[in-house]
Chain A
Amino acid sequence: MKVGIARELLFFEWVQELKSRLDQLSHKIEWVHDSTGEARQQLLVDGDSCYPFKKMVRSSISLLDNVDVLLVPRIVALDGFLMCPNFRALPDIVMMNKKRNRLSMEVPVLTPEVDISQALQAEHLAIRIFRDIFGKDPEAVRTKAVEVKRGAIDLKDRDISKSIALIGHPYVLADPCLNNGVPDILRLNGIDTAYAQEIDFKELSDLAASFDFYAKRLYWRSAREVLGALIYFTRIRPAAGIIHLAPFNCGVDALMRIELMALCKRMDEAPPYMVVVCDEHTQRDHVVTRVEAFLDIVNGVKIV
């Protein structure tokens, strides 16, 4: 059974965990995350949505040719905090495009609602998805949680004082198309990088909580992630510099950029902080120039 899910969604730890639990429930699932070709149709979402959202819709649609079932989870909340409204609408927009373009009409689209903050909820959700895919109950219902932080070296064992910290949405940090290649440019310059996603979300959320004021709690998960990461990389374990990779037109990051910028201004001896707004442009030179200029500031180059 070929089950497709857009690669961009896999950068959420809970989605990875769901996938792993489904694998434990059935060995018959063959996952498909990349298509052989990109969706060529003019999609309905090609307006002023943010680029990651458009890419998620496009990736999901492009998988249709090559799968038996398409999984487009409606990610409402993770770890008790909300996702942006786009994630709530994603399944509907994908289905609308599928119907309108009459694409692989025989392929069912599963849109489970994802609101997970505990392993048990992930287990139950995995069973529900299994039922929807195979039309029957799984033989074994118990599944194990996976190690949430995969592949990342524990930051605590690393000296990050000379590293550049990268903060932003997980899919933006991980996907070169969405981050305009900033991590690669840093690597080519011989710079070590530290990612916000290498820190446990609970720790980031607790750090962000110091700025909450009753109802003025940051309710978006990604907002808590970037605010917590900024505090972590400035106060707890300072990095040499911080680059915030924000997608153009991202409503969450638009507000967070204001708050983070103001916070950096108020801090004594805060490491240099730069926002790179990433969009659909493919020009690399201007990104290289900005990153190099930032590295000059980090390295204390002075213009005489």
Chain B
Amino acid sequence: MKVTFPHLGSMYIFCKAMAETAGIPYVLPRPTSNRTRETGEYSTNESVCLPLKIILGNFVDALDQGADTIVMVGSGPPCRLGLYDRIIKVVLTDMGYSFRWLTIPGIFNWQALLQNREEAKVLRKELTLGNYFRFPWAVIMGWKKMMWCEQLERTAAGMRAVAGDPVEVDRLLTKGLDAIDKAQGVTSLSEAGNAAVASLGDVKKTGRPPLKVLMVGEVYTVMEPSINMDVERRLGHLGVVVHRSSYFSTHIRRGSRLDRRMLKERQRLLQMARPYLNYDVGAECNFSVAEAVLGSRQGYDGVVHVYPFSCMPETNAATVLSVVSEDLDIPVLPVVIDRQDMGLRIDTQLEAFVDIMTWRRQGHII
């Protein structure tokens, strides 16, 4: 058995840590590239959302490298994400691949648990007692690594905007993530994490006050830099601190519904979107709107709304955000992402957006 999983930001470090600690062989797909996009694009159609294409491309790559078991986190309706596994299975079978599939339920209901039990039937036979024994520790180790990754990414987002050399921050972030990935125990993980955060803190600063932007939108697009054309890094290089609405841990907490604080927060955000959306449209739509409202109250200079072309909930969020922008007097930049190679287009958009925010801060635009 060789398991594989898709790329989603630094989630691969979490998955890898779990597989390694539990002693389960795995294949890590290569980092998402244009080739990954193209593989997904050629096997689907123009209206399929980009995350599905990228995940499909990741799986094709992993299966070509010898993986035989795909593990993917599921989701619920009404967004398309809830049916990704069903459709990807169809496409991969159509492409002639043979594989086994395990969906980790995104929402814990009896149907999801039954499905999980059914899918895991064959896999269970291949797992040893040792694998089972080490699994709880594997989850703890994975979770700890994920928390360190997220802390490092947050610190890097803050430092990039004020650093004299933002490229140095990118380099230190990559190095830090690599060290966290390689750490074998809790102590070495904590040493690697602390060292990486400290090294980012030591970067020479310019002293200029940074702009503050909130990045909201579809979960996959917000979290995976290769999908969102690295908007966070590009803005950081223009002197903007980017606060992401979503981290992987946020969604695990929301999905598990075990964290009462998150449940209350969810209700609070739905309430905050109320003047504009009186019903939960689905996926992140209402949260994108609510977080933008919250962002304006918290003094952010702007909101970047990233979503894949044809995403049903986020298309509605984009419409609503254009009204939020006017009502609350906060610039909102919608960045609709598809497979096009458009780094320069994104740069131009972001530069213009940063100019607007700078002028507003200086009082030139009222």
The chain A residues found within 8 Å of chain B, CB to CB, are 44-45, 47-49, 74, 76, 82-86, 88-89, 91-93, 96, 100, 111, 113, 213-220, 246, 248-255, 257-259, 262, 265, 277
Q: Does B83 contact A (CB under 8 A)?
A: yes
Residues on B with beta carbons closer than 8 Å to the beta carbon of A85: 78-79, 281-283, 285, 312-313, 316
Q: 1/0 contact trace for B152-181 toward A, CB 8 Å? A: 000000000000000000000000000000
Residues on A with beta carbons closer than 8 Å to the beta carbon of B322: 44
- Most A CB atoms within 10 A — which of B46, B77, B112? B77
- Contact check, B47 vs A250: say whether CB atoms are below 8 A apart: yes
CB distance from A203 to the nearest CB of B (A): 22
Residues on B with beta carbons closer than 8 Å to the beta carbon of A45: 319
- Contact check, A251 vs B80: say whether CB atoms are below 8 A apart: yes
- Give bound CA distance, A44 to B109, whole Å: 37
The answer to whether residues A251 and B49 also contact, given A48-B336, A213-B115, A258-B91 and a CB cut-off of 8 A, is yes
- Contact check, B45 vs A258: say whether CB atoms are below 8 A apart: yes
CB-defined A-B contacts under 8 Å, sample of 17 = A44-B322, A47-B315, A48-B309, A49-B316, A84-B78, A88-B280, A89-B281, A89-B316, A93-B320, A111-B278, A213-B115, A214-B115, A216-B103, A220-B77, A254-B44, A257-B45, A259-B87
Q: Does B3 contact A (CB under 8 A)?
A: no
Q: Does B8 contact A (CB under 8 A)?
A: no
- Give bound CA distance, A83 to B281, whole Å: 11
The chain B residues found within 8 Å of chain A, CB to CB, are 44-49, 74, 77-80, 82-83, 85-87, 90-91, 93-94, 103, 105, 109, 111-112, 114-115, 118, 276-283, 285, 309-313, 315-316, 318-320, 322-323, 336
- Contact check, A251 vs B44: say whether CB atoms are below 8 A apart: no
- Give bound CA distance, A45 to B114, whole Å: 40
Residues on B with beta carbons closer than 8 Å to the beta carbon of A86: 312, 315-316
CB distance from B337 to the nearest CB of A (A): 11
Residues on A with beta carbons closer than 8 Å to the beta carbon of B318: 47-48
Q: Which of B47, B49, B77, B86 contacts A82 (CB 8 A)?
A: B77
- Contact check, A249 vs B319: say whether CB atoms are below 8 A apart: no
CB distance from A272 to the nearest CB of B (A): 18
Residues on A with beta carbons closer than 8 Å to the beta carbon of B45: 254, 257-258
- Contact check, A258 vs B44: say whether CB atoms are below 8 A apart: yes
- Give bound CA distance, A304 to B78, whole Å: 49
Residues on B with beta carbons closer than 8 Å to the beta carbon of A92: 276-279, 316, 320
- Give bound CA distance, A91 to B277, whole Å: 9
- Most A CB atoms within 10 A — which of B44, B279, B283, B322? B279
- Contact check, B319 vs A44: say whether CB atoms are below 8 A apart: yes
CB distance from B137 to the nearest CB of A (A): 28
Residues on A with beta carbons closer than 8 Å to the beta carbon of B49: 251, 254
Q: Which of B46, B90, B323 contacts A96 (CB 8 A)?
A: B323
- Give bound CA distance, A258 to B278, whole Å: 33
Q: Which of A47, A220, A257 contacts B319 (CB 8 A)?
A: A47
- Give bound CA distance, A44 to B47, whole Å: 21
Q: Which of chain B's residues has its CB closest to A248's CB? A: B47
The answer to whether residues A214 and B85 also contact, given A89-B277, A251-B80, A251-B311 and a CB cut-off of 8 A, is no
Residues on B with beta carbons closer than 8 Å to the beta carbon of A93: 316, 319-320
- Contact check, A48 vs B315: say whether CB atoms are below 8 A apart: yes
Residues on A with beta carbons closer than 8 Å to the beta carbon of B279: 74, 76, 88-89, 92, 113
- Give bound CA distance, A100 to B319, whole Å: 12
- Contact check, A262 vs B310: say whether CB atoms are below 8 A apart: no
- Contact check, B94 vs A262: say whether CB atoms are below 8 A apart: yes
- Give bound CA distance, A86 to B313, whole Å: 7
- Give bound CA distance, A96 to B325, whole Å: 13
The answer to whether residues A220 and B278 also contact, given A214-B111, A249-B310, A265-B94 and a CB cut-off of 8 A, is no
- Give bound CA distance, A213 to B101, whole Å: 13
CB distance from A216 to the nearest CB of B (A): 5
- Contact check, A258 vs B285: say whether CB atoms are below 8 A apart: no
- Give bound CA distance, A214 to B93, whole Å: 19
Residues on A with beta carbons closer than 8 Å to the beta carbon of B336: 48
- Contact check, B78 vs A215: say whether CB atoms are below 8 A apart: no
- Give bound CA distance, A148 to B95, whole Å: 42
- Contact check, A255 vs B320: say whether CB atoms are below 8 A apart: no
- Contact check, B115 vs A96: say whether CB atoms are below 8 A apart: no
Q: Which of chain A's residues has its CB closest to B322's CB? A: A44
Q: Which of chain B's residues has its CB closest to A258's CB? A: B87
- Give bound CA distance, A253 to B49, whole Å: 12
- Contact check, B315 vs A49: say whether CB atoms are below 8 A apart: yes
- Contact check, A213 vs B86: say whether CB atoms are below 8 A apart: yes
- Give bound CA distance, A282 to B311, whole Å: 25
Q: Which of A88, A213, A217 contacts B78 (CB 8 A)?
A: A88
User: 10 closest Cβ contacts across the A-B interface?
Assistant: A214-B115, A254-B47, A89-B316, A215-B111, A215-B112, A219-B77, A85-B282, A251-B312, A85-B312, A216-B86
